[in-house]
Structure formats: structure tokens, C-alpha cells
Amino acid sequence: MRQLRLIALLVGAALACSLAGPVRAQQAAIVDTDFVVAAAARGAILWDVRSEEDYKKGHIPGAITIDDPQTQLRDSKTEDYLPVPQLEKILGEAGIDLGKEIVVYGAKALPSAYFAYQTLRYLGAASAHIYHGGIDDWRAAGKAISTERSTLPAVAVGARLNPSLLVSTQDVVASLERKDAQIVDARTAREFSGDDIRALRGGHIPGAVNIPYESNWVDPDTPRKLQRRLVNNKDGMSLKERGALQQLYAALDPQKETIVYCQSGARASETATVLQELGFRNVRIYDSSWLGYGNDFTAPVANVSYFNVGRVNGLLNQLQGRVDALEAELEALKAQVGKK
């Protein structure tokens, strides 16, 4: 009997380890400063996704850049991904080898860093991580900063696509008909309600739950406080503790398919990564997001509103009138100074 119990315990432990394995792998996605230091020491690729200008001002030593991935890897009109061969070419020329360990970072909590991370996952990167604290946490830790441009040898990139990570407009509409997915809208409350219109139509996908991506942070109001100089650092943009994040998404089922969207996929990528870290099993990103959905008049919309071209033109005309008046005042002042 003892032997049987021992065998049962060993089998149970083995099963627990096998089940825990994927969770541990997911939890390694969002990493901290110490992890980045160790990763750099073992030769990981560091990908700085900030603008070229910000990169030049200072970056983690050895980090490479291709400028903002949201502009470099997407079609400028639709904001959808460029064809895969073009993505392979861009990453390959930058030396971003999908077979190596890659750490992506930007400014703290920058959505485009999460977009780049999820892009790597979509293309089949073997080992990708996202440094949420980014250059801000790096500086705060007193780590070295470089202003010298770093480059890597070009490589041949052969993507191994993970198509299950992304969904299309047709997929979203089909899921609405089947009623088999939960949908998270990571935009602002005003975008969700249709008051802030950023496509031909405003509103939201029927049945979606609005949880702005900033809700993942300790203090979602930090950007406004920084702008008003109420705080002097980005500490409030750190991710909440795991328990608080679980509470934030407590109404969702971790076992159910979860579709996340925003305006064009970047903010959704941040929320999707957090959900994956929490153990949600089937998280998918609607890459076209509201830009694609709101412009597709065959797709059903809740709280629908419409882009008012006449009103916008009126506001532009008012603005132009003010600019003309200011220019006239400036010329008058110049004339007065000239007479003196």
C-alpha cells in the first residue's frame, strides 16, 4: 500500500510539473531590470522600439533599433501588418534573429514595445521577452546608458507563423454569431462609448467589456499627472501586482477564447500579454482593431456614432482663422519694432 501511495504521489508531481511548465514559460514574458542585465550578458538581442531620435539620446548598451515598429512594420494607411516577406526583410536587415533570445523595450509601459513583442510571437520567435519598465527603469536603477549606435550582422529570417495569435474582422463577426468568445476593449471609455470617434464610426463591438489598457498599471492617471507636474517619475506606470490584475479581469473566464482590441492593435497587445501572463489559455489579438472594424459597415456596432466631416471641417476653418489672426498680429508687431 505504501508503494502504491508513493507511486501515486510521484505521478501526481510529474503531472503537476508538466501542467505548470507552460505557465512558468508564459510568466517569463514580462521581465525586470535584473533579467535584462543577465540576458545581455548571455548575448540576447536587445531591441529598442522607441523613435530614432529617442534612441540617439541614450539607450541600453548593445541595443539595436529600427525606429518605431508601428510605422516600420505596418501599412501606413490600414495599419495592418506588411506582407510577411517584407517583415522578414526588415527584421533580417536589423539582425533580429528569431532563433535567438530577444528582449524588447521602449519607454516604460510603451504599447509599441508590446506590439513588437507580440509581432515576434506571431512570426515564431523562439524566446521573446518584454521589459515593461524599459529605459525609465534602466535609468532609475543607475545602469549604463550608451549614445553610440549598435548594429548586428544581417540574418536570413524565416518566419514560422503563429496564425492563431491574430484574428481578422471576419473572425470577430463570426465569433459574435457563435457567441463563443469574450471580447476586451482596451481603449478609453470615451472611445468605447462612441464619444471619441477615430474611424468612420464610433462605438464598440457588441458584448465587449471595456477595460482600458492603463488599468493594468498601479496608477492609470500617471501620464496626466506627469504632464501637470504632479509627479516626477513613471513609477505609477508599473504593472499592478498579480493579485490586483487577477481582480481586474475576474469577470472573464481564463479557459475561454479571449479577443482583445483597441484602435490599431498596440494597446491591445499590452493587455493581451498581461492576460497571457495571468494564465488565460487562448488570447487572440484583433490586429486591425477599431480602425478596421469601425470602417467596415457590415460589422455590427454598439453605441454607434458617425464621423462628422462637416463639423471637423468647421473646426479646421476656425483654427485656420485663429492662425491667420495670430500671423497678422505678429506682422503688425514686427512693423512696430521696425519703426522704432
CATH of the domain at 292: 3.40.250.10
Does residue 128 fall inside a structural domain? yes
The confidence score (pLDDT) of residue 322 equals 81
Same domain for 86 and 194, yes or no, is no
Q: Please tell me the predicted confidence (pLDDT) of residue 320.
A: 80
| CA-based nearest residue to 10, from 79, 233, 2 | 2
Which pLDDT belongs to residue 66? Answer: 97
Distance, in Å, from the CA atom of 74 to the CA atom of 103, rounded to the nearest integer, reads 21
As given in the structure block, the three cell numbers for residue 132 are 515593461
Q: Which residues constitute the domain of residue 226? A: 164-307
Residues 155 and 192 in one domain: no
4 occurs within a structural domain: no
Looking at 161, 178, 213, which one is the last position of a domain?
161
First vs last Cα of the chain: how many Å apart? 108
* pLDDT attached to residue 312: 63
Query: How high is the pLDDT of residue 28?
Result: 77
Same structural domain for residues 60 and 132?
Answer: yes
Q: Angle at which helices 266-277 and 2-27 pack, to 10 degrees?
A: 160
Tell me the helix, strand and coil percentages in the chain, rounded to 5. 45, 15, 40
Task: Tell me the three cell numbers of residue 297.
Answer: 459597415
Q: Which of residues 161, 187, 208 is at a domain's end? A: 161
Question: Both 243 and 262 in a single domain?
Answer: yes
* Global pTM value: 0.84
3-state secondary structure of 74: strand
Are residue 122 and residue 169 in the same domain, yes or no? no
Segment-wise mean pLDDT, segments of 10 residues, the chain, 340 residues: 41 38 52 98 98 97 97 91 97 98 98 98 97 98 97 97 96 96 98 96 98 98 97 97 98 98 97 97 96 96 79 69 81 78
Considering the domain boundaries, does residue 31 fall inside one? yes
Q: What is the pLDDT of residue 269?
A: 98
Based on the fold, state whether residues 276 and 288 are members of the same structural domain: yes
pLDDT at site 335? 79
Q: At a CB cut-off of 8 Å and minimum separation 6, what does 271 contact?
A: 184, 186, 211, 213, 216, 260, 262
Is 174 in the same domain as 157?
no
Asked whether residue 2 is assigned to any structural domain, the reply reads no
Is residue 296 in a domain?
yes
Picking from 196, 193, 190, the residue whose alpha carbon sits closest to that of residue 204 is 193
CA atoms of 102 and 46, how far apart (whole Å): 6
- Number of domains observed in the structure of the chain: 2
Shared-domain flag, residues 145 and 168 = no
Q: What 3-state DSSP class applies to 181?
A: strand
- Our CA angle for 173, 174, 179, nearest 5°, is 100
- Residues 154 and 168 reside in one and the same domain: no
pLDDT in the model for residue 309: 55
- Is the residue at 317 inside a domain? no
Is 17 contained in some domain? no
Q: Indicate the Cα dihedral angle 100, 101, 105, 109, nearest 10°.
A: 130
Specify whether 138 is located in the same domain as 241.
no
What pLDDT score was predicted for residue 325? 79
Which of 135, 161, 187 is at the close of a domain?
161
> 93 in a domain, yes or no?
yes
- Is 169 found in the same domain as 271? yes
Residues 149 and 185 in one domain: no
What does DSSP assign to residue 107? S
- In the chain, the DSSP E strands lie at 30-31, 45-48, 64-65, 101-105, 127-131, 166-167, 181-185, 201-204, 209-210, 257-261, 283-286, 302-306
Angle at 261 between CA 255 and CA 264, to 5 degrees: 150
